[in-house]
Amino acid sequence: MASIGLQLKNNYQPDHSSATTQRLLMSLLMSVSLILGLLLVAPLSSFAESDSSAAVSSQNSADISTLETTHEKTNEKADTETADHSAITKSESAHDDPHATEGGSHGEHEKNDAHDAPKEMANLMTLIFGHKENPTITDIQYWENVIFAFFAGILLVLGARALYRKRKMIPSRGQMVAELIVEYLYDLFHGILGKHTKRFLPFLGTLFVYILTMNVMGIIPGLKSATTSINITASMALLVFFYSQYIGFKELGPKGWLMHLMGDPKDAIGWAIVPLMLPIHLIGELAKPFSLAMRLFGNITGEDILIFSFVGLGMMIMSGIGLSSEWFGVGIPLNVPFVLMALMFSTIQAIVFTVLSTIYLSLMLPHEEAH
């Protein structure tokens, strides 16, 4: 691909660079739509589980109420005596140690507060609707990761359409950034896919930009990294998995795809170890989306928790010297170095996810052509 500098020196190749840029930008809508469609799988499955558990609990409640009605009269006298004895015992304990009840209640409140404390920076939805540790499907916080993922996708689609409509022979700043990204990704993928690079660049480029956008959103005040949800990372990993399997089935054919899973046996020894190689290959293929999802989820979640911890530490230091209050939180910016580190690692994790996806696709191409 011609570089931006060569393009400005009358070596501009519209059929190569511009066409590639066009395919990358216009494929954002299709690819992001597929990714976002998979995001709803986990919430909908949780909704089905909640309905099922509610039905079971209602049935159990009916059975318990029937049993309680049966034994109510027989245990009435014993319950009355037990209640009187308990009241006497409590009054004696309170008289002996009046601070025991207050201490126990205070300890329970501390445990509840520690359990309900947030573990990440507040975002716009948290500030508007409040924080819930375990939101249900009817709470807006349950959907906040999906909402921020949709926001990232919509932002990319609108930006891509705006850049495509305003493209020029002498590029603007936005077009230069887009072409630089395309050029970098093309060179990165070309070393793995060879002549198939232009074919898979729209999908892989969209995947990189989408993941990078969601990762960086957690650094911006008021936003959140949707990749801190395992549902989001798993949906993208599953998309890569099914797409690579489709490419392998299409390029190799049913027989070639099956031979690939068996280790491409060529002689008697190769066929003899097929019972060993086939399960190994199947486990390896199934482990790919799991490793992609967990790696991205763990790294981005760790970054957000680290930044949150140092923000809290800075506010604790200022509060200790009397320069911070409950209503006006001011803290030492101890998190600034870690924000820069998070920006770097967010980019690295997007590259790692995309490069591994590229390798998985290359393994499904005919070996003599995938250089």
Closest CA to 351 of 207, 176, 240: 207
Last residue of a domain, one of 66, 89, 122: 122
User: Do 65 and 194 belong together in one domain?
Assistant: no
User: Do 79 and 218 belong together in one domain?
Assistant: no
Last residue of a domain, one of 122, 153, 182: 122
User: Do 183 and 324 belong together in one domain?
Assistant: yes
The pTM (predicted TM-score) of the whole model is 0.69
What is the model's pLDDT at position 326? 53
Residue 71 falls inside a structural domain: yes
CB 31 within 8 A of CB 202: yes
Residue 47 falls inside a structural domain: no
Residue 90 falls inside a structural domain: yes
User: Do 180 and 256 belong together in one domain?
Assistant: yes
What are 76-94's pLDDT values in tens digits? 544 555 545 454 444 444 4
Backbone angles phi, psi at 329, to 5 degrees: -85, 120
Domain around 96: 54-122
User: Do 284 and 158 belong together in one domain?
Assistant: yes
Kindly give the residue spans of alpha helices, DSSP state H, lying in the chain.
Answer: 4-6, 19-39, 41-71, 76-96, 100-116, 124-129, 144-165, 173-193, 197-217, 230-261, 268-272, 274-320, 336-363
Residue 29 falls inside a structural domain: yes
For residue 124, with 0-12 CB atoms within 10 Å meaning exposed, 13-18 middle and 19 or more buried, which class applies? Answer: middle
User: Do 81 and 104 belong together in one domain?
Assistant: yes
Residue 26 falls inside a structural domain: yes
What is the model's pLDDT at position 153? 92
User: Do 34 and 59 belong together in one domain?
Assistant: no
Residue 131 falls inside a structural domain: no
Say how many domains are in the chain. Answer: 2
User: Do 283 and 149 belong together in one domain?
Assistant: yes
CB 260 within 8 A of CB 252: yes
Q: CA of 154: how far to CAs of 53, 149, 213, 289, 310, in Å?
A: 35, 9, 11, 25, 32
Residue 168: CB partners within 8 Å, gap ≥ 6?
A: 175
What is the model's pLDDT at position 47? 43
Tell me how far apart the alpha carbons of residues 236 and 238 are, in angstroms, rounded to a whole number: 5
Residue 224 falls inside a structural domain: yes
What is the model's pLDDT at position 266? 84
Closest CA to 299 of 240, 342, 243: 342
User: Do 194 and 300 belong together in one domain?
Assistant: yes
Closest CA to 364 of 265, 253, 280, 275: 253
Q: Which residues of the chain have pLDDT under 70?
A: 1-119, 322-330, 367-371
User: Do 196 and 227 belong together in one domain?
Assistant: yes
Residue 262: CB partners within 8 Å, gap ≥ 6?
A: 274, 277, 278, 281
CB 306 within 8 A of CB 242: no
User: Do 96 and 171 belong together in one domain?
Assistant: no
What is the model's pLDDT at position 221? 84
Residue 287 falls inside a structural domain: yes
User: Do 29 and 59 belong together in one domain?
Assistant: no
What is the model's pLDDT at position 138? 72
Which residues sit opposite 123 in a β-bridge? 222
